[in-house]
Structure 1
């Protein structure tokens, strides 16, 4: 699949293209401190193949890191649920693709009473890999931010437009939600495809082991040997895009080559 990596005019803006003849849609969820830019090239490529796509800007993102500190997991999850509901009303199949925290949000949607058709997870985050994680509930009252976690990309010419600082209160909320999510994985009954990068500076191997042991059905695992954490913008992005396209078109849910309406 041909992917154009040039950014849209406002790289952090949401992106939504609805193809009127498509029975399938893909909801793309970005990571914490990140932006829709992480998914934009893939989403645009799928839209060019007649697939309905939506890449929402999650609350607190796309502005400044201080705004993210004023939001929490429930805000991000509510936004993801609202967009899934909207897409489900007009499409018979909705695939949710999530990167990092977006992967955790996707799993939360999969464990919900109204799950999507299928999940595609790229380096999902089920743990905050730091020895300070147990201290986050207290630390957030004294430390506003720590160094950035964004931009873990092997390709030298691509950017996810993430914040230059990581807000501690937001990370504390995420860590608290991760604990509950790990206990709810048994409720995820929709198929899961899991992409794991060979070198990841953000998410450690414990997430993969947890998903293998706690999901009721074993996920299909694909290795991304040339990419780091933000694999959706990295050297294996075309592989991710092709797998997602295959999932939505194999069921007859999209009209290949038919561009979606511009909204």
Structure 2
């Protein structure tokens, strides 16, 4: 794909961050999962860019290098990086749609929980809605209860990346799962669970029929705790990384719908 003017698409480096600035009314922020990379969102991001939509797909701290670097990163680092990208989009556009895969879904919720509803100070746009793809609100592993201790004894365990049904897809994930990073994510997830009630924006949960990384518990918690309207979309042919799987077109459709609803909403008008 040829990079449109204003973008930093690097086809030969699919794990790199992707930025595309456009005078669209709505900006879209896409967040990848833990041990993964922006490659998980790249095909969808390129479709949005082709629509003329401003897009940010950041490479979260500790990712895109070697797995050992991820053990030096924390939930606070990922949250800060995501918030920085959101602030940039909010300063340029009337509204923002945030979409996240796995841990990226939890970070999207974190941003929405932290943002005061209807915050329209100055030129800042608000978060209009969320599209969450197999969002992770807990560590679904037999190691979950042992993580606080185990993280100090074992640097990493087997990889969790590339749970994809469609052949020949690659989210460019680490070959190992760093436990200190997972333990930090777990602490962030527990804190987030207590603040889900603050989220009032429309939310779409895209949930795979088969997911070997995140179980159905997280989606049930969201449907029970979120204060805003929630809709679930079933991705029957996909596994965890549904953004690169058979149902990726359904995820793209939901993001486009949320983007278009934001553009049409009186709340997004200056």
Q: Do both share a fold (TM > 0.5)?
A: yes
Post-superposition shift, 1:138?
1.1
Hey, what's the Cα distance between the residues in 2 that align with 1:150 and 1:12?
A: 13
SS in 2 for 1:66: helix
- How far is 1:252 from its partner? 3.9
1:110 corresponds to which residue?
112
5+ residue gaps, structure 1, are 1-6, 254-263
1:35 has 2:46 as partner: no
Q: 1:59 to 1:234 in 2, by over 3 A?
A: same
Question: What's the secondary structure of 1:117's corresponding residue?
Answer: strand
Q: 2:17 aligns with which of 14, 20, 23?
A: 14
- What is the 5 A alignment of 1:1-263? 8-20=11-23, 22-114=24-116, 116-252=127-263
Q: Which residue of 2 aligns with 1:260?
A: none
1 CA distance for matches of 2:128 and 2:231? 15
Tell me the number of residue pairs that the alignment of Structure 1 and Structure 2 aligns.
246
Q: Which of structures 1 and 2 has the larger relative contact order (alpha carbons within 8 angstroms, sep 6+)?
A: 1
Secondary structure of the 2:127 match is coil
- Whether the 8 Å CA contact 2:161–2:173 is kept in 1: the answer is yes
Q: CA deviation at 1:246?
A: 2.3
Rounded to whole Å, the distance in 2 between the matches of 1:251 and 1:109 is 17
Counterpart of 2:267 in structure 1 is none
Could you say what secondary structure the match of 1:44 adopts?
A: helix
Deviation at 1:250, TM superposition (A): 4.2
| 1: CA distance, partners of 2:176 / 2:262 | 42
CA RMSD of aligned residues (A): 1.2
Deviates more, 1:166-175 or 1:132-141: 132-141
Distance 2:258 2:230 in 1: 15
* Distance apart, 1:218 and its partner CA: 4.2
Q: Which residue of 1 aligns with 2:3?
A: none
Unmatched runs of 5 consecutive residues or more in structure 2: 1-9, 117-125, 265-270
Once the two structures are superposed, residues 87-106 of structure 1 have per-residue CA deviations (whole angstroms, 9 ceiling, x without a partner) of 00010010000000000000
